[in-house]
Amino acid sequence: MQFAAPQSWPCAVCDRPSTPRVHPGCQERIADNLDALPRLYRQLADVLIPGRRGGEGRSGTRTAPLPCSLDALDMRSRGGIEGVLAGWAADLCEREGWTLTCYGSVETAVDGYADLLRRNLIRLCDEHPAIREIADELRQTVGQARRLLDGERPPRRVYVICPCSQRLGFTLDTLGLRCPNCQQQHGHSDLLDLPLAERSAA
């Protein structure tokens, strides 16, 4: 008697074949990002202190007003990191009929909502229709915070042409992308195989 191979379908986040709805690597990455955000939130406070940016080894440099302090301020305000986490926490609570906890400070909100999402990660991965958006948004938020902490410029956007001739912009952080015109899903390596679009001034 033969047993059927375990059924697999595209991971709901990255399209790689997976038996669970979201493959273990993607689940782990979401968990890591949820763990990282409260830590990054605290570290971003350092970016706001003149002379502290860049951390050890680069002290003593004269600091002009930092354009990235404003971005750090944005990420630390209500609606920044907190907004991303609160949005998905509110969505989860609404779907489950739970009451969303309100927190007095942005920092406790970041901690509380990250913890709520983290504790319900399996549920989100198994059921949530927008798990790909959740994963993408968390990854982008973590990436943005890390770049501010490293003082790096945002990653360069690359433009390619979809077989349907739609221009698609992505960065090296992009895991995959659905063409808004023909709806075809392109994985990261598929995107790199597409012909490059002409460089444009915009």
Residue 181 as a binder of Zn ion (CB under 5 A): the answer is yes
Taking residues 26 to 65 in sequence order and writing x for each that binds Zn ion by CB under 5 A, - otherwise, the string is x---------------------------------------
Instruction: Please provide the DSSP assignment of 21-84 as one string.
Output: SS-HHHHHHHHHHHHHHHHHHHHHHHHTSTT-TT-TT-TT---PPPHHHHHHHHHHSTTTHHHH
How big is the site for Zn ion, counted in residues (CB under 5 A)?
Answer: 11
CA 82 to chain centre: 13
Q: Are 141 and 126 in contact (CB under 8 A)?
A: no
When asked if residue 182 is in the footprint of Zn ion (CB under 5 A), the reply is yes
Q: Shortest approach of Zn ion to residue 13 CB, angstroms?
A: 4
- Contact residue for Zn ion among 164, 172, 192, 196 (CB under 5 A): 164
Q: Cα(88)–Cα(83) distance, rounded to whole angstroms? A: 9
- Which span sits near Zn ion by CB under 5 A: 54-62, 63-71, 103-111, 182-190? 182-190
CB atoms within 10 A of CB 141: 20
- Minimum Å gap between C-beta 153 and Zn ion is 28
Q: Is 13 in the site for Zn ion (CB under 5 A)?
A: yes
- Which residue, 14 or 121, is less far from Zn ion as judged by CB? 14
Q: Binding to Zn ion by residue 186, rule CB under 5 A?
A: no
* 166: three-class secondary structure by DSSP: coil
Fill in the DSSP letter of residue 14: T
Q: Is 172 in the site for Zn ion (CB under 5 A)?
A: no
Which residues make up the interface to Zn ion (CB under 5 A)? 11, 13-14, 23, 26, 162, 164, 166, 179, 181-182
